[in-house]
Structure 1
Amino acid sequence: MLGSGTMGAQIALSLALGGFDIRLWGRRAEALPDAMDRVGAAFDFLAEAGLAEPGNRPLVLSRIKATSDLEEAVCDAGFVIEAVAEDIAVKQSLLGAAETHAASDAVLSSTTSALSATEIQSSLARPDRFCVAHYAQPAHLVELVEVVPGQQTAAGVTEFVTRLLTDTGKTPVLCPDIPGFLWARIQHAVLREFASLVGQGLVTAEACDTILKVGYASRLPAMGAFEHADLAGLDLINSAAAKAVWADLSNVMDPGDTPVGELYEQGHLGMESGHGFYDWTQRDPGTFRMQRDAEIIRRIKIRRQDAG
């Protein structure tokens, strides 16, 4: 596991819970104790929620060894995944260095959410041994992982990554190597439409989020977009009313042309700066994240109960 930040620690824990031995690599040795503390805290959160057995804590954490030595981290690894800055040059440099120390049959991966798998692998000596595995945050909770092979990825490598994710309790979905894959495209499509409406003064951010959370999202666990289309009837989806909606949807090409860009230009970055669409000096980001995670856990428990 290359990268000892939030995502790296969460992915390391997910893999360790699946029974794998992990070397968690970070550039700065002095930062590794904090990374291991994050792993431990994440395990404790799962245990408190009933998603991990408290008595297994020593065993699971013993599977994760932290190191700042890249060669030591990857020399005998079968699977190497990076979770560093979302910068293609940084990712290519790190993966290229890891490739020189890894076994020739090791599979390399990235948890990028949007960078092209084909472009990342283009700088590798063995591009056929690379495949994206995009974990969504929080990686130790969200069950879905996008599997994105590049143009040169060997079929066996895609199968290996898919099987590894399944073996660690994840739900892998094969996605095309297009900007944003599938997850981010949905996220940006929703935000583009809502940001456009807010920018036109038609609605508030609060109204949009309420519609999404209390309304639309409430049925998503039971019904996807195509299932809904079939349920409603494709004749209705082709009706004049539906065509009017499609024609009126936002097609803005740059987030800078919406309130997203306006806020950014004003120095408002969201939770990081204290202001975005909401005033985060009046809302506690830590409490928000805890409530988010609690809802994800509630949904996981429902799915597992339904699965028997």
Structure 2
Amino acid sequence: MARADHDRRPPARPGAARRDRRERFRPRRRARDRPGVTCAVLGTGVMGSDIALSLALGGEEVRVWGRRAAGLEESRARARRNAAFLVVEGLERDESALERITWTTERARALEDVVFACEAVSEELALKHELLGSAEEELGAGAVLVSTTSALSPTRLAEPLTRPERFVVTHYAQPAHLVALVEVVPGERTSPETVAEASSLLERTGKRPAVCADMPGFLWSRLQQAVLRELVHLVARGDVTPETCDTVVKYGYASRLPAMGPFEHADLAGLELMGNQAREIWPDLATAQGPDDGPIGELRARGWTGMAAGRGFYDWRVRDPDAFRLERDREIVRRLKITRGGEVVLKGPEA
């Protein structure tokens, strides 16, 4: 009967369907009967700022700590820009998440009564050791202490800690406020309860936690480096250009990855076919054990270390880095909208 009643509803007014789609683009609101827990983010760089916004968007109260007032102001400005971008793109109704973030240079204040503290400073083991050890002393015994790192072992990171069972890596990927996946990587002494608590908080804030083993690069960075090693190898042989590689990845291989992963594709294609392909291709794949032999080493030797230096594989004095980042974020947003029930509009040449 309910289905029949639904079928008899009058046609929607023009524009109503479009408004409905916009509603589905927005994240689910935090239940008002669940107060946000208090989190701390230690670090005011790109990752720390974006993680803080991600937590606030998920309804948590966040304190951001930094050593310098100037760094805090830069972090605040980045959070404001990103929050405004989300509103413009239709993913948020307003910028109210910013009201749940405070910035401070007082670490003890930042860590007072928090249940989740995320270290987000640069990828230097000694620096992380110093900050994690100091933070643990100021945290309550029940708090979960995490580090966002793309490659450093959680077992090694936990070496200076007296409560390593309450420590786990949560590897956010850039841009952290847009990318859903977060790798959760326990160390040798991390407790199952800590993994569960960290994963639960990530899920509450709209993330998709994936528990990975403590191995170099975890899973995300290993995949990224495996692809990069192979493509650099082909560029060095003169078989392809960086432009061709990026085109094939972005508009070919990556375009179907949201629909099926590598193992699903292998089963779909059939392991006989995949095995035959592997026999032809695997012997020719790159086996380099270091990045310095080949194009990456040559570029580094010339000081062309990437976008920040003005040149890398591309000449970023010609290409606009800010425009590139903006288009990257817009493309991620487009895909987020699709996963939240939106539609793809293919524009023809006259659109």
Q: TM-score w.r.t. structure 2 length? A: 0.84
Shift of 1:40: 1.2
Paired residues, number: 303
Shift of 1:44: 0.6
Separation (CA, whole Å) in 2 of partners of 1:247 and 1:278: 30
Which position in structure 2 is the counterpart of 1:95? 132
- Tell whether 2:66 aligns with 1:26: yes
Higher helix share: 1
Which position in structure 2 is the counterpart of 1:5? 45
2:210 corresponds to which of 167, 170, 173: 173
3-state SS of the aligned residue for 2:309?
Answer: coil
Shift of 1:135: 0.5
Which position in structure 1 is the counterpart of 2:18? none
2:150 corresponds to which of 94, 106, 113: 113
Which position in structure 1 is the counterpart of 2:334? 298
Separation (CA, whole Å) in 2 of partners of 1:176 and 1:258: 30
3-state SS of the aligned residue for 2:340?
Answer: helix
Q: What pairs up with 1:1-308 in 2 under 5 angstroms? A: 1-54=41-94, 57=95, 59-239=96-276, 241-305=277-341
1:48-96 C-alpha deviation (Å, 9 max, x unpaired): 1111111xx2x42121111111111112111110110101111111010
Shift of 1:306: 6.9
Separation (CA, whole Å) in 1 of partners of 2:202 and 2:82: 19
User: How many percent identity over aligned positions?
Assistant: 53
Q: Which runs of 4+ in 1 moved over 6 A?
A: none
Separation (CA, whole Å) in 2 of partners of 1:46 and 1:92: 34
3-state SS of the aligned residue for 1:197?
Answer: helix
Q: TM-score w.r.t. structure 1 length? A: 0.96
Structure 2 gaps, min length 5:
1-40, 344-351
Greater relative contact order, per chain length (Cα 8 Å cut-off, separation 6+): 2
Separation (CA, whole Å) in 1 of partners of 2:71 and 2:207: 28
3-state SS of the aligned residue for 2:91?
Answer: coil
3-state SS of the aligned residue for 1:305?
Answer: coil
1:153-194 C-alpha deviation (Å, 9 max, x unpaired): 000000000000000001111111111101101110010000
3-state SS of the aligned residue for 1:238?
Answer: helix
Shift of 1:201: 1.1
